[in-house]
């Protein structure tokens, strides 16, 4: 006989031996398969808990990163040389506080030039107005003389043309004054733009330039964040999106503050869902008056989308998996502190604080096994723990 054939026969014999002894990997799940345990077998000590009525919340969970409610890079509207930077990273600034200043000497000269140009335009207007008054008188006198035939029609027309030209020059001078005033206002605005001010109260999160640097309009000098409130944006799947609305409460937790929960509210919902992921963005804001929460922290968010009252609850440890889904071992009491267990199929709902919602052929107040469920078979005899047995009797 060939060695390969002998090897195969040995493998089959060994596998049959393991199957007959019920050893791994042929061991069966005692909670699912196999006949009820024989009455003569030793009872297994178990702990039990009660089926009770209560309320549960259906929640959705998601993760995201904390962000500042508002953040901005402060940049000048004009170019120039940075003269001073008045803040450091981590400084708190008020809204409108100056955080940097550009060299304003050239702007100051431009302002004085605009003021002088305005004065020249105003003086020019006064001269033109005086000429217009004089020519108005000449026209009136020329008309009287023309009526008496002392002057010709040509002389009257010439005087009238001079009057009209003077009136036009007065209007031009007035327009120039408006132009000079606008130029002066622009010079004042540019001079004020030399001071870079915080648009809102917050913390300086970055300082990008030092004094002496040349900048152009729009070059960031420092960053500012408002963390009196922080926000987190999470994706929510299409199935749950219609069940969320603005104003709903949300609970936020962070790894940096283990065990602490921060309450927030839904403030915005995206009007559309992503074509790729079929999720919509939900924005939650959290009050942060002490500044504990920092932008960039990893955040976990829970939003309650439904609450059900007067439902049956069992401890999480009572659940056991079955081919049909889940089940619990109901305790059927006998004499001498003896009892048997009965596997009851159940449908599982939401979980909360170590309790899970169930639906099935089980009643409020009945006892279920909570410790040792993976070692039990349907119909097996058990011995109740003294502490748990007495506690269950007192509760009943």
CB 280 within 8 A of CB 274: yes
Closest CA to 232 of 292, 282, 270: 282
Same domain, 356 and 342: yes
Residue 307 corresponds to which tokens in the numbers above? 């609450």
Same-domain pairing of 238 and 189 = no
Number of domains in the chain: 4
- Within-domain flag for 330: yes
Tokens 């993976």 identify what position? 374
Is position 204 within any domain?
Answer: no
Query: What is residue 74's predicted lDDT score, i.e. its pLDDT?
Result: 94
325-371, pLDDT tens digit by residue? Answer: 888 888 887 766 678 888 888 888 877 778 888 888 888 888 888 88
d(CA 334, CA 94): 75
User: Judging by DSSP bridges, how do beta strands 44-50 and 381-384 pair with one another?
Assistant: parallel
pLDDT in tens, 83-93: 999 999 999 99
| pLDDT of 108 over the 80 cut | yes
- For 283, the 3-state DSSP assignment is strand
Judge if 302 and 313 occupy the same domain.
no
What residues have CB less than 8 Å from 269, skipping those under 6 apart?
241, 244, 245, 246, 280, 281, 282, 283
CA distance readout (Å), 41 to 21, 187, 299, 310, 340: 18, 100, 52, 39, 12
Residue 76 maps to a domain: no
Examine the domain organization and report whether 187 and 266 are in the same domain. no
Range ranked top by mean pLDDT from 1-5, 39-43, 160-164: 160-164
For residue 25, the model assigns a pLDDT of 43
Task: Examine residue 81 and state whether it is found in any structural domain, yes or no.
Answer: no
Does the residue 82 lie in any domain? no
Confidence of residue 166 (pLDDT cuts 50, 70, 90): confident
Q: What is the CATH number of the domain that holds 256?
A: 2.40.30.170
Q: Is the pLDDT of residue 192 over 50?
A: yes
Whether 262 maps to a domain, the answer reads yes
200 occurs within a structural domain:
no
What CATH number corresponds to the domain at position 181?
A: 1.10.287.470
Helical residues (DSSP H) of 29-152, grouped into ranges:
105-147
User: Can you tell me the mean pLDDT for 291-306?
Assistant: 90
Whether 136 and 189 map to the same domain: the answer is yes
Residues 353 and 380 in one domain: yes
Q: Is 114 a member of any domain?
A: yes
Q: Is the pLDDT of residue 395 over 50?
A: no
Q: Which of 172, 193, 214 is the last residue of a domain?
A: 193
Q: What is the pLDDT of residues 367-394, one digit of tens each?
A: 888 887 888 888 888 877 764 543 344 3
Range of the domain at 6: 1-27
Count the residues in the chain.
Answer: 396
In the structure, what pLDDT confidence band is assigned to residue 16 with cuts at 50, 70 and 90?
A: low
Q: What is the mean pLDDT of residues 127-147?
A: 86
- Domain-terminating residue out of 308, 328, 350: 308
156 versus 261: the higher-pLDDT residue is 261
**Residue 65 and residue 3 in one domain:** no
């Amino acid at each position: 006989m060939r060695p390969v054939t002998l090897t195969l026969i040995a493998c089959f014999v060994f596998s049959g031996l393991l199957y007959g002894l019920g050893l791994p990997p042929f061991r069966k799940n005692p909670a699912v398969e196999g006949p009820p345990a024989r009455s003569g077998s030793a009872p297994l000590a178990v702990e039990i808990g009660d089926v009770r009525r209560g309320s549960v919340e259906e929640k959705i969970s998601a993760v995201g990163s904390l962000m500042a409610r508002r953040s901005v890079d402060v940049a000048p509207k004009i170019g120039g040389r940075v003269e001073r930077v008045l803040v450091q990273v981590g400084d708190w600034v008020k809204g409108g506080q100056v955080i940097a200043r550009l060299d304003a000497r050239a702007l100051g000269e431009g302002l004085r030039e605009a003021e002088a140009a305005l004065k020249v335009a105003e003086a020019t207007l006064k001269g033109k107005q005086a000429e217009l008054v004089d020519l108005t008188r000449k026209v009136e006198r020329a008309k009287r003389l023309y009526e008496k035939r002392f002057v010709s029609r040509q002389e009257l027309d010439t005087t009238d043309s001079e009057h009209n030209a003077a009136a036009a020059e007065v209007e031009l001078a007035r327009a120039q004054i408006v132009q000079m005033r606008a130029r002066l206002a622009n010079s004042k605005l540019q001079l004020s733009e030399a001071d870079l001010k915080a648009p809102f109260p917050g913390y300086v999160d970055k300082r990008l330039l030092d004094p002496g640097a040349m900048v152009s309009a729009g070059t960031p000098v420092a960053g500012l964040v408002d963390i009196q409130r922080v926000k987190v944006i999470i994706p929510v799947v299409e199935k749950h999106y219609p069940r969320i609305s603005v104003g709903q409460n949300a609970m936020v937790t962070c790894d940096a503050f283990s065990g602490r929960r921060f309450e927030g509210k839904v403030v915005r919902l995206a009007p559309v869902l992503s074509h790729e992921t079929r999720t919509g963005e939900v924005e939650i804001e959290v009050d942060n008056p002490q500044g504990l929460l920092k932008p960039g922290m990893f955040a976990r968010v829970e939003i309650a989308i439904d609450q059900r009252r007067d439902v049956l609850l069992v401890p999480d440890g009572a659940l056991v998996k079955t081919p049909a889904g889940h089940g619990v071992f109901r305790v059927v009491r006998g004499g001498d502190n003896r009892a048997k267990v009965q596997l009851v199929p159940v449908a599982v709902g939401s979980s909360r604080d170590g309790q899970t919602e169930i639906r099935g052929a089980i009643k409020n107040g009945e006892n279920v096994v909570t410790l040792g469920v993976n070692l039990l078979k349907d119909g097996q005899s058990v011995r109740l723990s003294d502490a748990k047995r007495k506690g269950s009797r007192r509760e009943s």
